[in-house]
Structure 1
C-alpha cells in the first residue's frame, strides 16, 4: 500500500478568526472556502506542498452535547493541532509574537534533535513549528 497525506481537519470555534491566523500569521494560502448555513470549511495549505491541505471547520457531526464537550476541550487547549517545519524558526516565532499569538513554548532545543516552538490558534488548538537539524 502506497499512501500519502492529503487532508487533515482542524476544528475551530470561529472560522473567520481561524482563517486570519492560518492565512495572515502562518502564511498559508486559502484554497477553498465553502459555507453552508452556519458552517464553513476553509481549505488552507502551504504553497510548497500543493498536495497537502488543512480544512478549518466549525462543523461537528454530532449531538449538541458533543458540541458542548468539544467546546470545553477547545477552551482547555486539549485538542491536538498541527505541526509545521520551517527553515528559520526564530523568524517564524518573531512573526507569531508580533501577531500576539498565545505562546505556549518559546523556541527550544529538544532532546530528540529538533528545535521547536508552540502556540495556540484562536480556538486553542496547538500549533508547533520545528526547525529540523541541518
Structure 2
C-alpha cells in the first residue's frame, strides 16, 4: 500500500545556484544533500510541509545520457516544463518580499477567478505560479 508522494523533482542547471535560490529567496530549508561520485541527491522542503521534499536534480549520468541531459536542460531553460504552484496567504505581499530578495517575476500579481496570482522562474528556467489561497472558513462551535 502506498503512503503518498514524498518527493517531486525539478531539473536544474546548477544545483548550488538552485539551492541558494530556494533557500535564500523562497525560504525553503535544506533537507538532504548527498553525493555519490558525480551524482548529487539534493532536496529542500517548505517549512510548513515537512513531509514533502522538492528535489533539485541535474540531468546527466548516471540517470541520463549526455544527449538526454542536454535536451532536458534546453527544455527547462525554455520554460517547457509544467509550472509548479506555490500557495501564499497574500500574493501581493509575497511578491513584494520576494522581489526585494531578487526573484525575477514573469507576471506581476493579477486578480482573476476570485484569486490573485503571479508568475516567476527559478534560475534554471522552471516556471512557478504563486497563488493566493482563500482563508479556510472557521468552523462554528455550538454554545
TM-score range, shorter chain: 0.7 to 0.9
Unaligned runs of 5+ in 2: 136-143
Matched residue, 1:118: 119
Aligned residues of 1:79 and 1:126 also touching (Cα < 8 A)? yes
Matched residue, 1:26: 26
Q: C-alpha separation between the residues in 1 aligned to 2:87 and 2:22?
A: 14
Matched residue, 1:43: 43
Q: C-alpha separation between the residues in 2 aligned to 1:131 and 1:2?
A: 30
With normalisation by structure 2, the TM-score equals: 0.83
Q: C-alpha separation between the residues in 1 aligned to 2:3 and 2:107?
A: 32
Larger of the two Rg values belongs to structure: 2
Q: C-alpha separation between the residues in 2 aligned to 1:119 and 1:67?
A: 24
RMSD: 1.8
Residue correspondences, number = 133
Matched residue, 2:56: 56
Q: C-alpha separation between the residues in 2 aligned to 1:20 and 1:101?
A: 12
The Cα of 1:5 is off from its aligned counterpart by: 2.9
With normalisation by structure 1, the TM-score equals: 0.88
The Cα of 1:110 is off from its aligned counterpart by: 2.2
